[in-house]
A and B are shown apart, each in its own frame.
Chain A
Amino acid sequence: MTSLALSVQGLTKCYGPRTKTPVHAVRDVSFEIARGEITGLLGPNGAGKTTAVKCICALVLPTAGGISVFGIDPLRHRGAALRQLAAVLEGNRNTYWRLSPRENIAFFSGLHGRSLRGQLRRTDALLQRFGLEEKRNTPVRALSRGMQQKVAIACALARDAKLLLLDEPALGLDVASTQEMRVLLQELVATERRTIIISSHDMELIQSLCKRVMIMDRGELVLDDSVENLVSVFQARAYRIELACKLPDALREELDTGFPVLRIQSDDGGQTTIEADFQEERSIYDLISTLGSYGLPLRGVGRQYPHLKDIYLHAIGEELADRGAES
């Protein structure tokens, strides 16, 4: 038995005529995921996350590259590989709206070859766990968007697959449902001994759920590291400076052009917070002396706990810069 849950090597998917310039949805992506690992797949819309997920499920056949799900190639042995995985796909209904949550869960676990007796037991447990008991017999059509998404995830869980792929599980949910979904996913990650890949453009969600994060942009994998590593690398260089005044426009311009400022926030009470990420430790002194030259009252300087969002924007920014340098 291999200890790898998933191995993706040189995955490439391009569309369009082969002779003219093809459009690359995914370009030479390689990664490996160990059993039991919870991995986040981040990226803006159109980064290729969904295409990569669908290639793993063999819903989309790649142009080049190899995939192995628990040692099985889904492109050669689709049936055997599909037994190992379940997926909730973005932009799909994933469930039958005419059927109730209970009937949906039973149907989809049946499609995965689960026995009827096992189905019913599992179904009731899932309904209870997802807080869907009251709505167990209501057609999915009549449920809220958040509940529908819960049913879709319950249907995927009911298959008892070892690899769970969740593509944008919180997309299109309102604030309350997103929060509820986050709690549910955290619980899932903590209790289920499964390998899970969650794709999202919501960094907070990924940061709260995953130990490892991969960032995709324009079809390429631009970053792959543990959340802890990424955060600590950034922590060493990110500072937060508080001023007891508003910023003069001239200074704001100087900061924007001369310093690696992440964000500047001014509140109504006349306070300003500057967050900056320094490549070289020294320039924090430059920044402070610049502020000093304007005679601005300094309230505090401290380390900034980085958000994945900054790392993410940074990774994508570097990617764009590299691209600019190439061309």
Chain B
Amino acid sequence: MMRVRVLLAVLRKHLIELRRYWFDTLSALALWYVVFLLLFNGARALVSRDDLFGATGDGIIVGYMVWIFLLGAYSRFTNVLNTAAQEGTLEQLGLCPAGISWICLCDAVASFLVDDLLIAGGTLALMMLTTGRYLAIDLLSILPLLILTLMGVLGLSFLIGGIALIFKRIQSAAQLVNFGFIALIAVPIASAPALRFLPISHGVDLLRRVMIDGRTLLQIPGSEILLLAGVSIGYFITGLTAFHALERAARRRALLGHY
């Protein structure tokens, strides 16, 4: 009950901020769309027109949408800790009986539900309108795959967030991870199946199959989904464990209050 109420409190806070700072969300959507237009038109110079408005273009759209979600789950998460540390609310979060990690997790869920679905969904709609390529939006198949993929990302976020508790200013390293995501999204799973053990890559591959090839979740082999779940949950638990160890170190060294 405690944890549910924490989740509700965090969700409410996100909704309030969305309502009050709606321009922030709107400009994020606009920015993502503009960057997409640049990418897409840039790709025109490299790929033939048929390709671009065909399979390659679809690939770009799916990859781009996943990227929005990944960055949402990752950067917002680490931002929560960074802003809390900067503003001086981190210690108050540290007084929450459910723990800082639970608040971070709630924040990730709230970001996903309140901000990212809006931004990524909006950008996806604009991308499809622009390119005229309408992808299969089978939410029942997409959401489970997306959530499993994001769990792996959260593991990574927990690790980086934990490091931030101790070393504070790690924005430059954290920024680099953003670009690491592009590589992980673009990894060619088909040519090297071992790469499925990387975070993200396998999930994006399965999402492409659903959104581009029009498969449903049930048409994807169960073993593939199990592997995705196992790998993602593995990353999640590893990251969470690391976060708890780093949080403990931060409490031992009295670092929660300082920035």
Of the candidates B6, B12, B87, B257, which one forms a contact with A96 in the assembled complex, judged by CB atoms under 8 Å apart?
B87
A60-B251, A103-B16 are contacts. A110–B94 as well, Cβ < 8 Å? no
Per-position binary interface string of chain A over residues 1-27, scored 1 when its CB falls under 8 Å from any chain B CB and 0 otherwise: 000000000000101000000000100
B contact residues vs A (CB 8 Å cutoff): 1-2, 5-6, 8-10, 12-13, 16-17, 20-21, 87-89, 91-99, 103, 248, 251-254, 256-257
Contact check, B91 vs A92: say whether CB atoms are below 8 A apart. yes
CA distance A181 to B33 in the complex (A): 51
CA distance A93 to B259 in the complex (A): 13
Q: For chain A, which range describes its interface: under 10, 10 to 19, 20 to 34, or 35 or more residues? A: 35 or more
Which A31-86 residues have a C-beta within 8 angstroms of B? 51, 54, 57-61, 78-80, 82-83, 85-86
Within the complex, the shortest CB–CB distance from B19 to chain A, in Å, comes to 11
Contact check, A51 vs B9: say whether CB atoms are below 8 A apart. no
Residue of A nearest to B99 (CB): A79
Of the candidates A60, A97, A99, A110, which one forms a contact with B16 in the assembled complex, judged by CB atoms under 8 Å apart?
A99
Chain B residues positioned under 8 Å from A107 (CB to CB): 9-10, 12-13
CA distance A95 to B251 in the complex (A): 21
Contact check, B12 vs A80: say whether CB atoms are below 8 A apart. no
Chain B residues positioned under 8 Å from A83 (CB to CB): 97
A contact residues vs B (CB 8 Å cutoff): 13, 15, 25, 51, 54, 57-61, 78-80, 82-83, 85-87, 89, 91-99, 103, 106-116, 155
Within the complex, the shortest CB–CB distance from B13 to chain A, in Å, comes to 5
Contact check, B5 vs A113: say whether CB atoms are below 8 A apart. yes
Of the candidates B21, B96, B248, which one forms a contact with A111 in the assembled complex, judged by CB atoms under 8 Å apart?
B96
Of the candidates B5, B12, B92, B99, which one forms a contact with A94 in the assembled complex, judged by CB atoms under 8 Å apart?
B92
CA distance A115 to B1 in the complex (A): 9
Within the complex, the shortest CB–CB distance from B230 to chain A, in Å, comes to 29
Chain B residues positioned under 8 Å from A15 (CB to CB): 253-254
Chain A residues positioned under 8 Å from B12 (CB to CB): 103, 106-107, 110, 116
Chain A residues positioned under 8 Å from B252 (CB to CB): 60-61
Of the candidates B5, B87, B94, which one forms a contact with A59 in the assembled complex, judged by CB atoms under 8 Å apart?
B94
28 A-B pairs whose Cβ atoms sit less than 8 Å apart in the complex: A13-B254, A54-B254, A58-B251, A59-B91, A59-B256, A60-B251, A60-B254, A80-B97, A82-B95, A87-B95, A91-B88, A92-B257, A93-B88, A93-B89, A94-B88, A103-B16, A107-B10, A107-B12, A109-B9, A110-B9, A111-B9, A111-B96, A111-B103, A112-B97, A113-B1, A113-B5, A113-B6, A115-B5
